[in-house]
Amino acid sequence: MNLSPLQKARYEYSPKLPGMLRGGISEISVKVGAPTESVADQAKIKALFPNTYGKEEITFVKGSNTSAAKKQVVGVILSGGQAPGGHNVICGLYDAIKATDKNNVLLGFKGGPSGLIDDDYIEFTDEYINQYRNTGGFDIIGSGRTKLETEEQFKIVTEVAKKHGLTAIVIIGGDDSNTNAAVLAEYMAAHDTGVQVIGCPKTIDGDLKNEDIEASFGFDTATKTYSELIGNIERDANSAKKYWHFIKVMGRSASHVALECALETQPNICLIGEEVAAKKMSLAQITNYIADSVEKRGNNGENFGVAIIPEGIVEFVPEFSKLIAEINELLAGKKTEEFNALPNWAAKYEFIKKGLSGESFAVFDILPEFVQQQLFLERDPHGNVQVSLIESEKLFSEMVKAELAKRKAAGTYKGKFGQQHHFFGYEGRCAFPSNFDADYCYSLGYNAFMLIQYGYTGYLSKVSNISKPAEEWVAGGMPITKMMNMERRNGEDKPVIRKALVELDGAPFKYFEAHREEWAEKTCFTYPGAIQYFGPAEVCDLTTRTLALEKGE
Ligand code: FBP
């Protein structure tokens, strides 16, 4: 592998562990806390997880290691979208495994959960793993989105585990993958396989967080990368003074990524999906909100600005969700063929007009034509509109343009409106992890092995107090069932880890709310710059604004 100078330098970096995990494996002891209950639906979750429900919270402390010695053969998978630091979870896991006994083995199953089903794996060695220390990406073994959830899949995994003599499986994934980790752990326990299952909280989206998990890994680096780019764009906008930049950021339904980037860069506008839903805002209201900022700034001679749009926004606009539901219905089954056979867009438009309710057609009719067409082109394998593929940054900028034309005609708007569009997602998911993510991920992996060594299963590797220096971090584990409740999924009640959306009474949103009026009118941009790996701790080890505000710092 050809290494860049930064890659070589990052190889030299020693990730920081929480204080209690420093000083060698022989000095890590366990403190068992109180039994746990799920966050809701206790009786139902208990009935579904009879072998793994209600277990105690675990904290590691300094003391003599009392775990039983046995040969460990651990399998690990990366699941879902990439997040900076995934390689370090595996490095931390590997180092703890080998420090405990050099005859222990770590197998990496390739391409995500399907690697476990297909028995496609590599055995990690020092030489192989060293190339990936402190680097971004998931290319060490690849990732995938196959879900491990059926009895049939679990039977195959059990066979694969038996073949390799696996003692444990570590699943590095988001809320869905860790929900599946809990189900797999229960299956393995119920069938007396002796295979433990441990999860690690990953996702740039920041939506796997709760009273136990302070942040999912990757959120820090991804938002810092997007914030650097947004800051650069702000500076460009403020230099040329001729464009409004509409920037969509990844993050799925939750707006954590957008909010964190807004806290870092102080743009003129940042939409928050959760607020749009709570206030039942219409497309016209959102358009007017942005247009008001453009108008005020334009009339002050500031014909430029920056608006951040979370990728999930349109799902939160009630009238838009209703429209999507009607379109899904309109094209259900054979009706897609009928629609596709129509000769041109004019004929399709008439078909749509006839098929939608008056209310939904009125919403459809105000959309720019490219969005109208996107709604009918991009379908998922189940025939549903893929909302995340809608270019909402262009949708809002076009709607704002149309609104400004009206205001110009009425004589209230006197400025000029030039638009630029951006989508930041893939740019941040594989960045070199920040020092925070490098340390946090390495600790999560190291800690995951300590949970395995002490015999725990169905636990999420938990490292808390992470807004403080790593020395003060607290390592331990929490039963995944504690984070679960019952939710309706695909027409069935399912036990799942509760997804965290932006809390409108939480400190990060409150801070944003208190400042956004000023940011909308004046130019208050802040330029966070690139992630720094070397230099003073207050620059290099900085965590997110979201975490700092949540912790009251
Ligand atoms: P995860 O939930 O798997 O961590 O996904 C993160 C994410 O980057 C989302 O922000 C984004 O919507 C999605 O993955 C994109 O998925 P894909 O890589 O399949 O295009």
Q: What is the pLDDT of residue 388?
A: 74
Q: Are residues 413 and 474 in the same domain?
A: no
Cα–Cα distance, 145 to 176 (Å, whole number): 10
Lining residues, ligand 1, CB within 6 Å: 80-81, 83, 174, 203-205, 250-252, 311, 388, 425, 429
Task: Kindly report the CATH number assigned to the domain that includes residue 343.
Answer: 3.40.50.460
Is residue 485 in some structural domain? yes
Are 512 and 396 found together in one domain? yes
**How many Cβ atoms sit within 10 Å of the Cβ of residue 151?**
8
Q: Is 61 helix (H, G, I), strand (E, B) or coil?
A: strand
DSSP string, 16-31: PPPGGG-S-GGGEEEE
User: Pick from 285, 269, 287: which is nearest to 522 by CA?
Assistant: 269
* Domain shared by 166 and 255, yes or no: no
Lowest mean pLDDT among 110-114, 147-151, 242-246, 471-475: 147-151
66 pLDDT above the threshold of 80: yes
Q: Is residue 136 part of a domain?
A: yes
Q: Is residue 162 part of a domain?
A: yes
Nearest CA to ligand 1 atom 16: 81
537 pLDDT exceeds 90?
yes
Q: Could you list the residue range(s) of the whole structural domain that residue 261 is in?
A: 223-426+506-541
For residues 260 and 409, state if they share a domain: yes
Instruction: Look at residue 380 and tell me whether its pLDDT is greater than 80.
Output: no
Atom index in ligand 1 nearest the CA of residue 80 equals: 3
Q: Is the pLDDT of residue 383 over 80?
A: no
Q: Is residue 553 part of a domain?
A: no
Burial of 65 (0-12, 13-18, 19+ CB in 10 A): middle
Number of domains in the chain: 2
128 and 247 together in one domain: no
Ligand 1 centroid vs 78 CA: distance in angstroms? 13
What CATH code is carried by the domain that includes residue 200? 3.40.50.450
Q: Are residues 359 and 380 in the same domain?
A: yes
* C-alpha distances out from residue 70 to 102, 164, 198, Å: 12, 15, 18
Residues 383 and 434 occupy one common structural domain: no
Residue 58 and residue 201 share a domain: yes
- Does residue 382 register a pLDDT over 70? no
Residue 549 lies in a domain: no
Please compute the mean of the pLDDT values over residues 249-278 and round it to a whole number.
97
Segment 197-252, tens digit of pLDDT = 999 999 999 999 999 999 999 999 999 999 999 999 999 999 999 999 999 999 99
For ligand 1, atom 18, name the residue with the nearest CA: 81
Q: Does some domain include residue 11?
A: no
Residue 23 in any domain: the answer is: no
Are both 268 and 290 inside the same structural domain?
yes
| pTM of structure | 0.96
Is 41 in the active site?
no
Reported as a single tens digit per residue, the pLDDT across 502-533 is 999 999 999 999 999 999 999 999 999 999 99
458 CA to middle of ligand 1, Å?
Answer: 24
* 390 and 523 part of one domain: yes
Flag whether 478 is in a domain. Answer: yes
For 252, phi then psi, to 5°, come to 55, -145
State the distance from the centre of ligand 1 to the C-alpha of 81, rounded, in angstroms: 5
pLDDT tens, position by position, 450-490: 999 999 999 999 999 999 999 999 999 999 999 999 998 87
**Identified catalytic residue from 95, 176, 205, 207:** 205
C-alpha closest to that of 465 among 20, 83, 92, 96? 20
Residues 360, 484 within the same domain: no
pLDDT at residue number 334:
80
Q: Do residues 493 and 530 share a domain? A: no
Centre a 10 Å sphere on the Cβ of residue 198 and count the other Cβ atoms it contains: 30
Q: What is the DSSP letter of 205?
A: T
- Span 296-318, average pLDDT: 96
